[in-house]
Structure 1
């Protein structure tokens, strides 16, 4: 698992620029892009108004999000969903990823829903959420998320995505 670090005021500003809006329910920076900026944040199980928010890890880097969107548009979700039905080892790894995700979320707060982001454990629904989980948890925890991260390429190669105001 990657090291979690509290969100600094400067990082909150970077994340807001990445998202194009103020971030909600931030807890920690869960992963840093090789450029040094946050690219995945950990969010609280509930938003500030108490609404359940089952997306524990949120992909904030717009370049990483665009790369995940390209994989979705290329049909990877459908392809990997079909593999879940025919590959017991992949399905078992994905089930384990779901259980790990729930354990991490439940350590913060148990929500009434046992669903997790990305469609785990039965569906491949959102590569953004699955890639965020894979980056936050580290390689080998979420097999579909690992595939997404690998397929996303080097989204950081052009340098930091969120430039300073006025730069």
Structure 2
């Protein structure tokens, strides 16, 4: 497959202008292309650098969907951002044909004159070597190594980062835990769809507040979930008791465990081979909290921590 065909595959259409591949992944696939400032029909093309790699596009889209544009604007000095827009515009305009007197691209990164419009465009320029503060911020969000713990407790759920990438350690106690979530699921056995929707809605609203205060949680790759019932959810997924010290649970598996536990009656749930008798009643609530965390923080996976204590 030649370069143009690879770009066509990633874009899902034929490119409309000249481009150059400036960043590739380890397999040789394009990650960033540098566009000519004019399309083939003369239409101005304001986006000089375009992120097209499948995985980075997906991850940056998750960051945007979780409020990343607003978080980036809050994190970057407006004057520094304005300078970046000016640098981007100058570089793009210098690539215009000599004596061009037709329509010209306008704006800075992504075609905007101020603020942040598109994290993909900023990250593309950064990956291509551009001095883009927003692109650098995106890179930090996608590659941070700080550990975040989510502790499932009866009375509350704690989200904490004892080793943040920057700043002081922090901890947020969300005022709902296994007990209140079990109450929210109601008295029906199994819970009704309405009770499930209400319980998940309350949890997601609460975790939204945490996410807004700590945008570094968005699409985090090292969140460790703790507590006796966290290990129980992992056992349910595996269908057995013998667990490794750490177990990675992906989003699909977590959603599957959730569906299993909240649709079974207590009597049926008691026969689940991975579910200890003492956790039969509370396991649906724990599953609700776990999926709410993964949904609101846009997590692809979590790590069930070895420090969870059973019993």
**Same fold, judged at TM 0.5 (above):** yes
3-state SS of 1:48 partner: coil
Pairwise CA distance, 1:137: 2.4
Partner of 2:110: 118
**Structure 1 position 136, deviation (Å):** 1.3
> SS at the partner of 2:128?
helix
The Cα of 1:45 is off from its aligned counterpart by: 1.0
- TM-score, with length taken from structure 1: 0.72
Report matched runs for 1:18-167 at 5 Å.
Answer: 18-84=10-76, 90-109=77-96, 112-118=104-110, 122-138=114-130, 141-153=131-143
User: TM-score, normalised on structure 2?
Assistant: 0.41
Q: Which runs of 5+ in 1 are unaligned?
A: 1-8, 85-89, 154-167
State the structure with more CA Rg: 2
Question: Per the alignment, in what secondary structure is the counterpart of residue 31 of structure 2?
Answer: strand
Instruction: Please state whether the residue corresponding to 1:137 is helix, strand or coil.
Output: coil
1:54–1:117: 8 Å Cα contact kept in structure 2? Answer: yes
Offset at residue 53 of structure 1 (A):
1.1
Structure 2: distance between partners of 1:121 and 1:91: 11
Match of 1:10 among 2, 5, 9: 2
Question: After the TM superposition, which segments of 4 or more aligned residues of structure 1 sit over 6 Å from their partners?
Answer: none
Alignment RMSD (CA, Å): 2.3
Residue 120 of structure 1: how far off its partner (Å): 5.2
Cα distance in structure 2, aligned partners of 1:76 and 1:92: 19
Structure 2, unaligned runs of 5 or more: 144-311
Q: Tell me the secondary structure at the aligned position of residue 134 of structure 2.
A: helix
Is this contact kept in 1: 2:17–2:38, CA < 8 A?
yes
Residues 87-115 of structure 1, C-alpha deviations (whole Å, 9 max, x = no match): xxx33332232122112101111764530
Pick closer, same or farther for the CA change 1:26–1:149 going to 2, 3 Å. Answer: farther
